[in-house]
Each structure stands twice: as C-alpha cells, then as structure tokens.
Amino acid sequence: MAATILDGNKIAGEIRGEVAAEAKLLAAAGMRPGLAVVLVGHNPASEIYVRGKVKSSEEVGLYSEKHTPAESATTAELLSLVEDLNRRDEIDGILVQLPLPPRVDAKKVLMAVDPAKDVDGFHPMNVGFLSTQRPGLVPCTPGGVMELLRRSNIAVAGQEAVVVGRSDIVGKPMAMLLMNANATVAVCHSKTRDLAGVCRRGDIVVAAIGRAGMVTRDFVKPGATVIDVGMNKVTDRAEFERFFKGNEKRELAFAKNGSTLVGDVHPDVAEVAGAITPVPGGVGPLTIAMLMANTVRAAKLRRGAAVPVG
C-alpha cells in the first residue's frame, strides 16, 4: 500500500491563516509585527528565497522591509546595519540571508542579531532556550516539521525517531524538538556505522543530510513516517533515470526545464513508508510559514503584557 502523502502546502496555509489573524489583532492594537530581511549581493537562489519571504510577509499582514547591501559590504558595515535594526522598535524580526560573501564573518554578524529578534532561531541564546525548554524562537524548518507531525496526527511521544544529519540549522534543533516531545532520538551522520540499520529502527525518520536520494527503501521500516528535508537539483539524465524512470509527469518537466528536484529520500521509499513528505510541496512551504509565525511570536514575546489576547 502506498504511503499517505503529507501535504506541506495545505498545512503551511493553515499556519499562515492563523498568523494573519494574530497579526491583524496586533496591528489593531498599534503593534503591527515587522520583519527586516538582509540580503547581501546577488546570489540568484537567495534572491528567490528572499522575494518569497517578503511576499509571504505582506500576504499575512506583517510589515516587511528588505535591505540589500552590495556584494562588497564588509563585516563592520553589516554589524552596523544589524545594530540599527536591533534598535528599531517597529522591527520584531531580523533575518540575515545566508550564505554571506566569503570575506564576511558570518558568525559574528549572526551573533550580533538581538536574540529577541532572531526569527531564524540560530542565536546561541535561543539554542539554549530550546535545549532547556524555555520560551524562545525555534529554527523554522524543524519547527515546521513538528507542526506537520502534530497537525497530521502522527504520534511523537514514546516513538523512536531517527534524524539523519547534524547541522546547527536542521539536524540538532530537530533532535531537541523531538526529545522535548518525548521521542527517543538517534542522530546519524557521515560517520555512523550501519546507517541503514539505525534508520530502520525509526518510527519517524527525518532526512536532512543534503544528498540526493540517499535514504533508500532499505533504510525504512514498513509503515514508518518519513520527513524529507532535502532539496537537491538533478540535471544529469542518468541520475534522473535513477530516481524517476517511468514517471511521465517528471519526464515532461525534466525535458522542458532540464532539471527537477529530488529530496534526500529516494522516491521509491513511498512504497514502504506509512506516511511521507513530497519534494517539492512538503517541508519547504512550512519553513516560510514558520518564519511568519516566528515574527509574530517575537512581537508577542518582546511586547509582553501589552499584547492583546485573541
């Protein structure tokens, strides 16, 4: 029996609807939540992401502004911009789009963001809040995965969960969120012995390793929930055949565009899993929806007692 497809677009729409209602309530009380996005230089992929984030902000009623320093911007110039945004009370969230140019000290710039405005949830203070279960801002992608599980009625407490990947942005916070929700969690990476064997223990498998189709059917026990965080562009015909041979819809798109997207999970896994996220249309839309939710959350945490209760 084929896996249930977990529709990220649908759930992202629900979250955005809730965010819009909260933003409207705050705006009526004179506290419209505000998001500032910093995009350095002209990275085409980053420009697309940022455009999507700004558009989404406007759609849910957030105030948003985009800052676009030149490619030649120095660490000192970016620190000055971040300090300015930290001081401005109408800005509740600051997002510095990565990657930054190589000569810029990215860690220093991210550390300069006020933790109360760190809507990416990357600041060590927010990481500390997450690990000690205190109110703070949680990274958008893992936060979106937890919402996907909750709203799809997939039990987490008491389940074995396996996270493949240990990045600061997805893998580590994902493991902490699952632990906080009472799952038993294993974190795997490139040095894990018998990776497939460890993954097969998982009732929930989260793949966030950044390698196209690496998680194959022998990694997944029948009936497991598989969350695919990966987003890999396939342009090679032989690689395309490995993932999508016989898939007419994908064939047409590949012939037209010369590329297609595949996650970190091989499409065949859908024949074994109980539930699975598609790529595209799975975790991706949730990341942006959670950025909107984090901006409203930051506004409420920052403004405290003045916030109206809906």
Please list, in sequence order, all residues whose beta carbon lies within 8 angstroms of the beta carbon of residue 34, skipping any fewer than 6 positions away: 62, 63, 64, 65, 90, 91, 92, 93, 295, 299
Catalytic annotation, pick one of 53, 117, 172, 300: 53
Catalytic annotation, pick one of 92, 114, 118, 120: 120
Please tell me the chain's helix, strand, coil percentages from 3-state DSSP, rounded to the nearest 5. Answer: 45, 15, 40
Contact 216, 267 (CB under 8 A): no
| Residue 52: other Cβ atoms inside 10 A | 15
Contact 213, 270 (CB under 8 A): no
53 is catalytic: yes
120 is catalytic: yes
10 is catalytic: no
Contact 53, 295 (CB under 8 A): no
User: Facing residues of 186 across strands?
Assistant: 162
Provide the annotated active-site residues: 53, 97, 120
